[in-house]
Amino acid sequence: MSLANEFTKGIIRENPLFRLLLGMCPALAVTTSVDNGLGMGVAFSVVLLASNIVISAMRSIIPNSVRIPAYIVIVATFVTMIDLLMHAFTPALYTALGIFIPLIVVNCIILGRAEAFSGKNPVIPSIMDALGMGVGFTLALVLVSAFREVLGAGTFFGQTILPENIPAIMMILPPGGFITLGCLLAILNKIQKKTA
Amino acid sequence: MQEYFIIIISAVFINNIVLSQFLGICPFMGVSKKLSASIGMGGAVSFVLVVAGFITWALNTYLLTPLGIGYLQTIAFILVIASLVQFVEMVIKKFSPSLYKALGIYLPLITTNCAVLGVAIINIQKEFSLGKVMVHSLSHAAGFTLALVLMSGIRERLEDADIPESMRGVPIALIVAALMSISFLGFSGLI
Amino acid sequence: MRDIFKLSLFLLVVAGISGAGLSYVNSLATPLIAEQIRQNKIDSFKEVYPQSDKVENESAVYLKDAHDPALKEVNIAYRGGMPAGVLYAVETKGYSGTISILAGFDIADSRITAIKVLSQTETPGLGAKAKDRFFQDRYKDKNTTLPLEVTKTAPVKDNQIQAITASTITSKAVTKGVNAAREHFNATFGAGKKQ
């Protein structure tokens, strides 16, 4: 029961992007197409999962006073590994995400989970926590990028679905990112008020 | 000389770090409610950004590249930035308690500000010389402060505006950022 | 004091382990990355100059006294041991940043075989269309005698290139880059100058 709870909380109730407002930089920058949004979400989830496992396994031997630098080193190691592997195996995605791959290291969600969860909990719940947060963040990125790609380029996963003259290029330019995220947050607020 | 001018215009206006590169959104949203706070944050980030730009460049040029361990770049840079922030915090605390009071709460936040790491990585990617690294970092710092100060000016007024309840707070701030970003789009094509 | 020593030792061990792990992953990934960059280059070469046995970078020979900073690389395409085509890598300033282009020329016919935009940062949906096939095809088979010009309407002369709608600056930038290559090509490999 509680394990399932650790998993589901990240998807809706504590969704890192929509509810905790963390990780906004990549959510705005790479969501110009669903491909990129999904790729970023997966890369992020892998790093979060790996660092959550390691940090949770080492939680009893990491001295409290140097835990933050230790977390940073662990997270940065996994980020660099993902960076190298993506460069080798998914070159197109690597070019599209560019600087935002190394910047996963300063994504507040990962350090936040280390500080709030995996640094205090056993490995299994930490895995569930990472999976939930990863899926939640990925879904959020896909949602934002689906709006932007459909409205801005008239395509979905690269397939044209709207006629040539409908899409507003603005939506895949920087302002479109701010508008989409702003509106989605407002809509979610509204829904939450109704259900609450 | 012209090259430097292009770097400045491009970093401050065209590729504004917040409004078009999406770096440093967290402090941009978090600390832009009050004008005074945003100036403090802008100052603190600018300082760290420029010093970190210099140190990471030196580290990359004299240590990582000669040793052929460029793949340790991310890990080395983030450690430099984290220790730099700690160090700055200690120095300011010791020598200027009043400045520490003004900046203190923002300093720890800067470690996870992607603008600092982002600019450091861009500096290396573009293979800038030391002079260009300094100009580039300074311009991005200025661009960050500019966006933050403009934003807080608008948000102070938004406090009194009648906004639909579900739009209040971050959603409306994002819409404001979108409008600012549209006006900054007008700068592209300037060079 | 002992505490500080212990803490630093701990961090050092963590950093050491992560460094070792990284250098292992790096040693695995580096050859793959290099191979993939090489393959990419070969594919681009094939795209702009299809009929060649091998392509050699001979920038050292041909760019020794070239003064145009737009020219970045000169690659010679060989067919049956003889130079048959020239592939130029050029860089030019577009609307919002550098555009790098690969342009192929055929020596025998003095014509452009094809061009390919390798990288660009132009506005998505507008200038970014420069990397789309339809625009690059407008340069195909152009004669190299006259400088290429950009027009906003359908071209009537052979040396005219129709601009991308609403992206004249980008179109002009690409054309400028191709023209830089064209001039060097004419001066070095044009009629009567064949090696």
Per-residue pLDDT of chain C (195 residues; tens, 9 = 90+): 678 888 888 888 888 888 888 888 888 888 888 888 888 888 888 888 887 778 888 877 777 776 777 888 888 888 888 888 888 889 888 887 788 999 888 888 888 888 888 888 887 778 888 888 888 888 888 888 888 888 888 888 888 888 888 888 889 999 998 988 888 888 888 765 544
Question: Does residue C74 contact residue C58 with C-beta atoms inside 8 Å?
Answer: yes
pLDDT digit string, tens, across residues C51-68: 777 888 887 777 777 677
pLDDT of residue A111: 86
Contact residues of A toward B, CB < 8 A: 21-22, 24-26, 28-29, 68-69, 72-73, 76-77, 79-80, 83-84, 99, 102-103, 105-108, 111, 170, 173-179, 181-183, 185-187, 189-190, 193
Q: Which of residues 34-73 of C touch A (CB under 8 A)?
A: 36, 40
The answer, yes or no, to whether residue B83 has pLDDT greater than 50, is: yes
pLDDT above 70: residue B172: yes
Residues composing chain B:
191
Q: What is the rounded CA–CA span in Å between residue B32 and residue B149?
A: 7
User: Angle at CA B108, nearest 5°, toward B103 and B109?
Assistant: 90
Asked if A13 and A134 count as a contact pair (C-beta separation under 8 A), the reply is no
* Residue A31 Ramachandran class (φ > 0 left, ψ -120 to 50 alpha, else beta): alpha
- In this model, does residue A50 exceed pLDDT 90? yes
CB contact B166 to A (< 8 Å): yes
Mean pLDDT of B170-180: 91
Is pLDDT of A167 > 80? Answer: no
- Tell me which of B71, B75, B86, B122 to substitute to probe the interface with C (most C C-beta atoms closer than 10 Å): B71
Give the pLDDT confidence score for residue B105 in this predicted structure: 65
In 3D, which of B189, B159, B191, B165 has the Cα closest to residue B176? B159
Mean pLDDT of chain A: 87
The ipTM (two decimal places) reads 0.85
Is C94:C120 a contact under the CB 8 Å cutoff?
A: yes
Q: Is any Cβ of chain C less than 8 angstroms from the Cβ of A168?
A: no
Residues in chain A: 196
- Contact status, residue A150 vs residue A54, Cβ threshold 8 Å: no
List of long-range contacts for C1-8, beta carbons under 8 Å, 24+ apart: C6/A63, C7/A63, C7/A65, C7/A66
Average pLDDT estimate for A2-29: 83
Q: Which pLDDT belongs to residue B191? A: 64
Chain A residue closest in CA terms to B119:
A99
Residues of chain B with C-beta less than 8 angstroms from the C-beta of A189: 165-167, 171
Query: How much of chain A, in percent, has pLDDT values that exceed 90?
Result: 35
Q: Is B163 on the interface with A (CB under 8 A)?
A: no
Sequence letter at residue B113: N
Q: What is the pLDDT of residues B9-38, one digit of tens each?
A: 888 888 888 888 888 888 888 778 888 878
Residue B180 tokens read as 């600012």
Contact C113, C46 (CB under 8 A): no
Q: Is C25 helix (H, G, I), strand (E, B) or coil?
A: helix
User: How much is the pLDDT for A161?
Assistant: 81
Distance between CA A49 and CA B100 in Å, rounded?
A: 37
List pLDDT tens digits, range A149-163. Answer: 888 888 888 778 877
Residue with tokens 């990780």: A23
Rounded to whole angstroms, what are the CA distances from C96 to B9, B31, C91? 12, 30, 13
Residue B133: what pLDDT? Answer: 93
pLDDT, tens only, A70-112: 888 899 999 999 999 998 888 888 888 888 999 998 888 888 8
- Which pLDDT score is estimated for A1? 46
> Would you list the DSSP string of chain B?
-HHHHHHHHIIIIIT-TTTTT--SHHHHHHT-SSHHHHHHHHHHHHHHHHHHHHHHHHHIIIIIHHHT-GGGHHHHHHHHHHHHHHHHHHHHHHH-HHHHHHHTTTHHHHTT-HHHHHHHHHHHHTT--HHHHHHHHHHHHHHHHHHHHHHHHHHHHHTTS---GGGTTHHHHHHHHHHHHHHHHTTTT--
pTM of the model: 0.85
Of B72, B188, B189, the CB nearest to C22: B72
Q: Nearest Cα to B109, choosing from B174, B48, B19, B183?
A: B48
Whether A87 and C125 lie within 8 Å, measured CB to CB: no
Instruction: Mutate one of A24, A75, A79, A106 to test the B interface: name it (highest B CB count within 10 A).
Output: A106
